Amino acid sequence: MANVICPICHHANHCEAGENKQCWCTEEEFPKKIFDLVPEESLYKHCICKNCLTEFKEKEFLENS
């Protein structure tokens, strides 16, 4: 599977989505704006890692407060 690298930080994303597995990312909410950071060719193909999601949410929270 090619979907193992986070398109934002280029580290392992630990995606567990597979034939009969569900990944944590399928249950997470991804803010739309996070996809602006993802190169077009990786959009909806490569999992964003939990680190990037958490960091992004924290940043967004700070900016909005």
Residue ranges that bind Zn ion, judged by CB under 5 A: 6, 8-9, 15, 17, 23, 25, 47, 49, 52
Token pair of 62 as six digits: 């700070």
User: Shortest CA distance to 52 belongs to which of 36, 41, 64?
Assistant: 36
Question: Distance between CA atoms of 14 and 5, rounded to whole angstroms?
Answer: 8
Q: Which is nearer to Zn ion, 28 or 65 (CB)?
A: 28
Q: How far is the CB of 31 from Zn ion (least distance, A)?
A: 14
Q: How far is the CB of 41 from Zn ion (least distance, A)?
A: 16
Q: How far is the CB of 37 from Zn ion (least distance, A)?
A: 9
Residue whose tokens read 């190169």 = 39
